[in-house]
A and B are shown apart, each in its own frame.
Chain A
C-alpha cells in the first residue's frame, strides 16, 4: 500500500491559496471562505498550520464580515451561515476567536432560527438540516448555544429521520450521508444522540462501503472520497466505526492521491481539489492514520482546538 504524501499535500494547499489569478480561483471566488476552512484545517491536521500567514488570513476573514454580524464567502459578498461557520472555524484553528464581536456574530446566527426549530441559511429563508448543524456548531464554538431554542432545533432534526435510520434535508427527504453527518453532528453537540437509532443507522452507514473499499453517500451511487468524512464521522459519533473495513477504506483514500503534485480527488485518477483533499485527510485522521492530528467528528476541527475552546476558563 502507498503512503500519505503529506508534504506534497501541504505544498498543493499553499499553492492553491496563493493562486488568485487562476481560472479556478476566479470561479471559486464566491466561496473562498469555505476553501480557506478546507485548506487550513488540512494543514493543521498535517501539523503544518503555520505554512500560511496567520495575520494575513485573520485580517482577510474580518474583511468578509457584514454589518449584520454574518460573513460572506469573500470580501463584499452577502452573508450566509455557511461562510459564518467557516470564519469561526478558521479563527478557532488559529486561536483567534477573540478578534470577533461574539455577541454580534451569535445574534446573526441565532436570528436565523424559525418557529418550528429549523434554521434558514440567510435572510431569504432556504431551510435545510445543513443549516441546523451549521448554526448549532457555530453557536457552540462561540459558547452561545443558549441564544436559540435547542429543544425545538432538536425536534426539527428528529422530524427529518427516515425509515432507514438516516436523515434528509427536510422532513421526508431521502437519507443522504452528508445530511446524516449534519443531523447526527447537531444532535451530538446538543447532547441529544439518544434520538438516533444507532444500530439501524449504523447498518445503513456501513452498507455504504463498496467492494473497492470506498464509501458512497446513498445506495447504488458511486464511491467518493468526501463520504470518507460524512459517513465515517457519523459512524464515529454513534460509536459504530468498526462496522466498516478500515484497511480497505485507507487504501481507497490513498489511491485517490496525486502523489506527484499533491492533493486528493474524489475517485482514483480524477483531478484533485482542496475540498476532496480535506475530506481525504480528515477521513484518514478518523481512521487513526499515523502522523495526523486527531479530528473531532462533530465540530470538524482538530481535537486539540476543540479542547482549547471548551476546557479554557
Chain B
C-alpha cells in the first residue's frame, strides 16, 4: 500500500465514523434491477451516503465536505453540484474558498460543464472583486489547452460582466504568437475588437487589424483562421473589401510564393465575384506565376476566364472538396 492508498483508507474510515448516524441509500435501478451491485468501493459508498443526505436535505458542514468528496470522485454528477450550492447558500459560506475548490477540481478534468457553471455562479456572487482572479484562472487553463471551449466561454463572460478588457488584445496576440493557427484566439480577437468598450469598435480598428492579419497570412498562408478573420474585418462592407488594395495585394504576394494556395485563390475569387477588377498588370503577374508552375494556364484575357481557370486549379488542389469548388464555379456570371 503506498501513501495515497493509506490516505484514502484513512479518509474512508473517518467518513464512516462521521456518518454512522445515516443509513446509506443505494441507487434505485428501477423496477427490474438486473444485476445487484456486486462490490462496495469508495465510490459506491460515498454515493450511497450522498443519496441519503440529499434525500434528507441535510445542509450541514459535513454534507458540504461530502459533496467535495463526491465531486472529486465524479465531477460530472450534476445533482451533487446543485446540492452543494444549496448548502453553500444555506450555511452562508465564504465563497472565496469555492474558487480554490473549483481550481482543484479543474486540475483533474476541466472539460466539465458543471465545474464551469459553478465557477460562474461563485464569481457572479463575488462580483468585480474576482475579475483578475477569473482572468488568471482561465489563463492558466488556456496555457495548457489554448482551445479550451469552457475556459473561453467563461473568460468572455468575465469580460462582459465584470470587466478587465484593457489587456485582452495583447493576450490574444501572445496566444497567436505561440500558435497562429489557434482559431479560438482569432475568435477572441474578433470578440475584443467588436465588443471592447475601450477600443472604439470594428471600423475604428480595421486598418491596424488588416495590417496585423495580412502579416499573419503572409507568414502562414495555409491558415484558414487568419483568412476568415480578414474577411470578417469587412463584414457588411463589400465595397471596402473590394477596394482595399491590401487584400488583393496579400493574395498576389501569397500566390507569388506558390500559385496553388487554396485560401488565397478562394479570396481572390471572392473579390472578383464582388466586383474586383484585376488590372492588366495584376493579371500579367498571375500569368507569369502560373507559367512558372506550368500546370495551369492563366493566359486569358477577361476576369471570368481568369476565375474559371482559378476554379479548375482549386478542384485539382483540393479534391476532397471538389464539389464545393465546382459549385462556386457554376455561380460565376
In whole Å, how far is A203's beta carbon from the nearest beta carbon of chain B?
6
What's the Cα separation between A278 and B120 when bound, in Å? 32
**Is B30's CB within 8 Å of the partner chain A?**
yes
The answer to whether A172 touches B191 (Cβ under 8 A) is yes
What's the Cα separation between A30 and B74 when bound, in Å? 10
What's the Cα separation between A160 and B157 when bound, in Å? 14
The answer to whether A26 touches B28 (Cβ under 8 A) is no
Interface-side segment among A43-51, A102-110, A141-149, A239-247: A239-247
**Is A250's CB within 8 Å of the partner chain B?**
no
In whole Å, how far is B38's beta carbon from the nearest beta carbon of chain A?
5
Interface-side segment among A88-96, A214-222, A254-262, A293-301: A214-222
CB-CB under 8 A for A20 and B35, given A75-B27, A174-B187: yes
**Is A248's CB within 8 Å of the partner chain B?**
yes
Selected A-B contacts with CB under 8 Å, 19 pairs: A18-B35, A20-B29, A21-B37, A27-B74, A27-B76, A30-B77, A60-B30, A72-B79, A78-B78, A78-B83, A80-B78, A126-B113, A163-B229, A172-B191, A202-B324, A209-B320, A209-B321, A213-B320, A245-B320
How many residues belonging to A are interface residues under a CB distance threshold of 8 Å? 53
Using Cβ atoms and an 8 Å threshold, which residues of chain B touch A164? Answer: 228, 232
- Which of A59, A170, A221 is the one whose CB lies under 8 Å from B153? A170
What's the Cα separation between A299 and B33 when bound, in Å? 31
CB-CB under 8 A for A207 and B37, given A163-B228, A174-B149, A220-B181: no
The answer to whether B30 touches A77 (Cβ under 8 A) is no
Of chain B, the residue at the smallest CB distance from A170 is: B153
**Is B117's CB within 8 Å of the partner chain A?**
yes
- Which of B35, B79, B83, B321 is the one whose CB lies under 8 Å from A243? B321
Using Cβ atoms and an 8 Å threshold, which residues of chain B touch A218? Answer: 147, 183-184
**Is B235's CB within 8 Å of the partner chain A?**
yes
Using Cβ atoms and an 8 Å threshold, which residues of chain B touch A173? Answer: 149, 152-153, 156, 187
In whole Å, how far is A153's beta carbon from the nearest beta carbon of chain B?
20
The answer to whether B321 touches A219 (Cβ under 8 A) is no
Of chain B, the residue at the smallest CB distance from A242 is: B323
**Is A206's CB within 8 Å of the partner chain B?**
yes
**Is B6's CB within 8 Å of the partner chain A?**
no
**Is B261's CB within 8 Å of the partner chain A?**
no
Of chain A, the residue at the smallest CB distance from B188 is: A174
**Is B103's CB within 8 Å of the partner chain A?**
no
- Which of A53, A176, A220, A243 is the one whose CB lies under 8 Å from B323? A243
CB-CB under 8 A for A18 and B34, given A77-B78, A170-B153, A209-B320: yes
Interfacial residues of chain B within 291-333, with CB under 8 A of chain A in the complex:
319-321, 323-324, 327
The answer to whether B36 touches A21 (Cβ under 8 A) is yes
Using Cβ atoms and an 8 Å threshold, which residues of chain A touch B184? Answer: 174, 218
CB-CB under 8 A for A220 and B182, given A56-B32, A76-B28, A176-B149: yes
Most buried by B among A80, A206, A219: A219
The answer to whether B36 touches A59 (Cβ under 8 A) is no
- Which of B34, B79, B190, B232 is the one whose CB lies under 8 Å from A78? B79
**Is A195's CB within 8 Å of the partner chain B?**
no
**Is B44's CB within 8 Å of the partner chain A?**
yes
**Is B177's CB within 8 Å of the partner chain A?**
no
Using Cβ atoms and an 8 Å threshold, which residues of chain A touch B38? Answer: 21
Most buried by B among A27, A60, A164, A211: A164
The answer to whether A174 touches B35 (Cβ under 8 A) is no
In whole Å, how far is A217's beta carbon from the nearest beta carbon of chain B?
9
CB-CB under 8 A for A219 and B225, given A20-B34, A126-B117, A163-B232: yes
Using Cβ atoms and an 8 Å threshold, which residues of chain B touch A163? Answer: 190, 228-229, 231-232, 235
The answer to whether B79 touches A30 (Cβ under 8 A) is yes
Interfacial residues of chain B within 44-73, with CB under 8 A of chain A in the complex:
44, 47, 51, 54-55
Interfacial residues of chain B within 149-203, with CB under 8 A of chain A in the complex:
149, 152-153, 156-157, 160, 181-184, 187-188, 190-191, 194-195
Most buried by A among B182, B195, B224: B224
The answer to whether A56 touches B324 (Cβ under 8 A) is no
What's the Cα separation between A73 and B195 when bound, in Å? 38
**Is A29's CB within 8 Å of the partner chain B?**
yes
**Is B31's CB within 8 Å of the partner chain A?**
yes
Interfacial residues of chain B within 102-143, with CB under 8 A of chain A in the complex:
113, 117, 120-121
Interfacial residues of chain A within 19-51, with CB under 8 A of chain B in the complex:
19-21, 26-27, 29-31
Of chain B, the residue at the smallest CB distance from A61 is: B30
